[in-house]
Amino acid sequence: MKREQTEVLIVGLGPVGAALGVYLGRMGVSAIAIERDRHVYPLPRAAHLDHETMRLLHLAGGAEAVAAASQPLSAYEFRNAAGELLMGFTPGGELAPTGWPFSSMFHQPTLEHALRARLAEMPSVSTRLGHALKGYEVAGEGIVAEVEGESGVYEVAARFIIGCDGGNSLVRRSAGIALDDMGFDEPWLVIDTVLQNGVTRLSTVGLQHCDPARPVTSMPMAPGRHRWEFMLLDGETPEDVTSDEAIAAMLAPYAGAASLDIERRAVYRFHALVAEKWRQGPVILAGDAAHQMPPFMGQGLCSGTRDAANIAWKIEAVLRGRADESLLDSYQAEREPHVRMITEMAVSMGKVVCTRDAEEARLRDEGMLAQPEDARMKGMMTLQGIATGILAGGGAVFPDPGHGAARLDDAAGYAPILIVREDCEAARAFADAGGFTVLCRDLPDPQGYLAMLLGDAPAVLVRPDRYVFGIGEAAVLTAAWAHYLASGVAGAPAAAA
């Protein structure tokens, strides 16, 4: 049987796998990326991207196409059966500190086409559509996989295999990695519609109708599209709710006289699951293969993109001998707490929405309505950063000082960044080692984000995934960065603490 050699085998080319392939390709890592389907799935699935994710997708070459085919939410509200506001969220401005909109409703096929086009430009990555993983075995420090393509079955030997192959991941199942069930399992009907007569949107507000008679989600999507989701009632089957007559009856109170075409109708079970291991030797999981969450925070694809941005630069550093393999253990240590926090929040929101008992709903409303309305409406949630793999002063998402105009991200690319007040030997050595070094005075900072972050400190070091590694003396930061790569532990040598 024919055998090919590569450094990384990526299984699955949805947005997470494609972004991962671009990140690896930008660093010159050799990879084979396989996807069993020949074409991008043509219907929308994920609907929401936050500003952090747009920034990471910009580094992968997909954000501009998405931005041109997306629209922001003006608010996200939870209302009871009487229409009273239980809680809500609204952005604090047009652009977040990353230089991207706080919240974008987008069209997933547009993103996937853009990422695959960018991936095709990566000379070190071979993209193979219509090729499916049949199985794999761990062999020495790597794996040997069997892949079925158009011309038959062949083998791929790789140092790492990364499963971006969804919730039913063959990569995960073959490794025997179990899922931790966080306690949410509810069936919902998802209806995607295309608006007619030149209408671009029915609303600027995402809405959860917390009605115990039947909970409903109403969500503006990309321009010209709208999504409704209806919770299935006890005893209902998918066949009961997906007929034309059933859909028309459910949409009537919400769509009004709007002229629309049904683009997709499907029943899904919303889960809350996290893999117990995200890395097992040469086997790595990302995206839905590693975690699944209810959609009430719109963070599923956002979380998968963060996975890709976190692991890619670590793999490259290990492959090139700049980092010990123990650095890869920091992937789950950094990402899992973030994912679990988001999933717990999504489950909590889901329990508010999915209350079916009328008395429980009455008590829910009574408790939430007891707060003043301005206390119920909050700014868009700021998600926690990372708590490991950083120094004191680190862990937060680094703002883009150009604030959407002259982007530092464009100059630096997917690389670590050292920003210093004055040129110094440590900064020059960092640049010689492949980092990106820039002087503060050369950066536009119209919003003052960089000034606020630095304070009186002489330097800040930013990871490729745009989390702040640390703030302090340049020599201390670069020494700590080298130690982190070598050991997977931040904060040492002692001088860097």
DSSP 262-286: EEEEEEEEEEEEEES-SEETTEEE-
pLDDT of residue 492: 46
Most confident by average pLDDT, 89-93, 376-380, 429-433, 440-444: 429-433
Average pLDDT of the residues in 340-368: 96
Token digits for 173? Answer: 């199942």
Confidence of residue 494 (pLDDT cuts 50, 70, 90): very low
Asked if residue 84 lies in contact with residue 373, where contact means CB atoms within 8 angstroms, the answer is no
Average pLDDT of the residues in 144-152: 96
- The DSSP line for 94-141 is SB-TTSSBSEEE--HHHHHHHHHHHHTT-TTEEEEET-EEEEEEEETT
Q: Quickly tell me which residue has 């009487």 as its tokens.
A: 82
Four-residue CA torsion sign, 298, 302, 304, 307: negative
Asked if residue 391 lies in contact with residue 496, where contact means CB atoms within 8 angstroms, the answer is yes
Q: What is the pLDDT of residues 377-418, one digit of tens each?
A: 876 555 666 666 566 567 889 988 776 567 899 999 999 999
Q: How would you classify the pairing of strands 3-11 and 31-35? A: parallel
**How far, in Å, are 36, 44, 496 from residue 473 at the CA level?**
49, 47, 9
Four-residue CA torsion sign, 149, 154, 160, 166: positive
Contacts of 239 (CB under 8 A, 6+ apart): none
Contacts of 255 (CB under 8 A, 6+ apart): 193, 202, 226, 228
Higher pLDDT, 401 or 257: 401
Q: What is the pLDDT of residues 463-479, one digit of tens each?
A: 999 999 999 999 999 99
| Position 283 pLDDT exceeds 70 | yes
pLDDT of residue 383: 61
CB atoms within 10 A of CB 87: 19
Beta strands in 12-74 (DSSP E): 31-35, 48-50, 71-72
Confidence of residue 201 (pLDDT cuts 50, 70, 90): confident
Asked if residue 152 lies in contact with residue 227, where contact means CB atoms within 8 angstroms, the answer is no
Q: What is the pLDDT of residues 173-193, one digit of tens each?
A: 999 999 999 999 999 999 999
The rounded mean pLDDT for the chain is: 92
Residue 401: helix, strand or coil by DSSP? coil
| Position 445 pLDDT exceeds 50 | yes
> What proportion of the chain, given as a percentage, has pLDDT over 70?
94
Q: Which of 225-237 are b and which e, b meaning 16 or more Cβ less than 10 Å from the residue's Cβ?
A: bbbbbbbbeeebe
Task: Tally the residues of the chain.
Answer: 497
Average pLDDT of the residues in 424-448: 91
| Position 51 pLDDT exceeds 50 | yes
Phi, psi of 294 (to 5 degrees): -60, 155
Alpha-carbon gap, residue 49 to 69, rounded angstroms: 12
Alpha-carbon gap, residue 32 to 63, rounded angstroms: 23
Token digits for 414? Answer: 């997917």
Largest CA distance in the chain: 72
Token digits for 463? Answer: 């990871």
Q: What is the pLDDT of residues 19-47, one digit of tens each?
A: 999 999 999 999 999 999 999 999 999 99
pLDDT of residue 382: 59
Ordered by where they begin, the domains of the chain are 3-70+104-180+273-345 (3.50.50.60), 408-496 (3.40.30)
Residue 374: helix, strand or coil by DSSP? helix
Confidence of residue 96 (pLDDT cuts 50, 70, 90): confident
Four-residue CA torsion sign, 384, 385, 390, 391: negative
- The DSSP line for 435-467 is -EEEEGGGS--TT-HHHHHHTT-SEEEE-TTSB
Asked if residue 213 lies in contact with residue 280, where contact means CB atoms within 8 angstroms, the answer is no
DSSP assigned state of 405: S
Candidates 191, 157, 162, 166; CA nearest to 175 is 162
Asked if residue 128 lies in contact with residue 139, where contact means CB atoms within 8 angstroms, the answer is no
Four-residue CA torsion sign, 80, 86, 92, 95: negative
